[in-house]
């Protein structure tokens, strides 16, 4: 397909992504970053919550495992949401990958039956022989099917690279700062799960700027933040409460506000 036609096609398919910026293409993935949860420190945080708010909750082994398993994904999302992305470096990688896949596809096409010259036919037969030696007992026709499957995968990868290069050129650069931290929503969702299991009410302070109005739920969120990378921490319990409030609204989670 000519490049101009491909660009027109991609432009049509991207109308649903209006407003998306270059940096947005690299967020929301499944990256994982180390975020160790020290059980002793966690238990100490819960003991402090119990003392401050007259609670009697404790973290079970199941909740500890849940937090340890999911917090690294939140930390990875934080990295993806804040790390700078270099357009030129991304373009170079894509072009290099596509060059390799195009070459591999060209070399592997002889495995498909059709009009081939003698050299291509011999090359395809040789590869087929190698597959039968690797997997004893399969027939030559089955070996050729495996090679054709590998060729189809490479052709698909080549199309992915082509699409990525087009999207790279059509997507504008990020302008200004984001109005909301996308990585914080998964964090708050995790805290909501933990709080629910602990029997802690999902309740926000009436005035987050007043430290004495901090609720057990926002105090729990502030404590769990400390297991994330330092740059992800809220500057104060009040700032944490405001971030939590935005995410709860974004997630559609019902919460209670303290009376003034």
Q: Where are the domains of the chain?
A: 33-83+177-257, 87-170
**pLDDT given at position 136:** 87
Burial class (CB in 10 A: 0-12, 13-18, 19+), 97: middle
**pLDDT given at position 145:** 92
**pLDDT given at position 20:** 60
**pLDDT given at position 12:** 43
**pLDDT given at position 213:** 80
**pLDDT given at position 89:** 85
pLDDT along the chain (260 residues), means of 10: 40 46 58 83 95 95 94 83 73 94 90 76 89 91 92 95 90 56 89 95 82 88 94 92 92 71
Q: Which helix (H) or strand (E) holds 67?
A: helix 61-82
Q: Which helix (H) or strand (E) holds 30?
A: none
Question: Would the pTM count as exceeding 0.75?
Answer: no
Q: What is each CA distance from 74 to 22, 34, 91, 167, 186, in whole angstroms? A: 21, 10, 27, 27, 6
**pLDDT given at position 4:** 37
**pLDDT given at position 149:** 94
């Amino acid at each position: 397909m000519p490049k101009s036609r491909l660009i027109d096609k991609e432009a049509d398919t991207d109308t649903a992504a209006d407003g998306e910026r270059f940096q947005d293409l690299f967020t929301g993935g499944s990256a994982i970053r180390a975020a160790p949860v020290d059980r002793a420190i966690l238990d100490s945080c819960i003991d402090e919550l119990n003392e401050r708010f007259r609670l009697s909750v404790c973290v079970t082994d199941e909740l500890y495992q849940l937090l340890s398993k999911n917090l690294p994904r939140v930390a990875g999302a934080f990295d993806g949401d804040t790390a700078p992305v270099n357009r030129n470096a991304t373009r170079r990688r894509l072009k290099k990958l596509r060059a390799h896949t195009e070459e591999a596809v060209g070399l592997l096409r002889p495995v498909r039956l059709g009009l081939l010259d003698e050299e291509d036919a011999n090359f395809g037969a040789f590869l087929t022989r190698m597959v039968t030696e690797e997997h004893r007992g399969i027939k030559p026709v089955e070996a050729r099917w495996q090679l054709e499957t590998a060729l189809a995968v490479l052709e698909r990868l080549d199309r992915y690279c082509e699409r990525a290069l087009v999207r790279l050129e059509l997507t504008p650069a990020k302008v200004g700062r984001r109005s909301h931290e996308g990585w914080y929503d998964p964090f708050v969702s995790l805290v909501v799960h933990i709080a629910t299991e602990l029997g802690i009410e999902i309740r926000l302070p009436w005035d987050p700027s007043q430290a004495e109005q901090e609720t057990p739920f926002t105090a729990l969120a502030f404590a769990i933040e400390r297991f994330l990378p330092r740059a992800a921490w809220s500057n104060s319990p009040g700032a944490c409460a405001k971030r939590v409030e935005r995410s709860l609204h974004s997630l559609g989670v019902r919460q209670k506000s303290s009376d003034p």
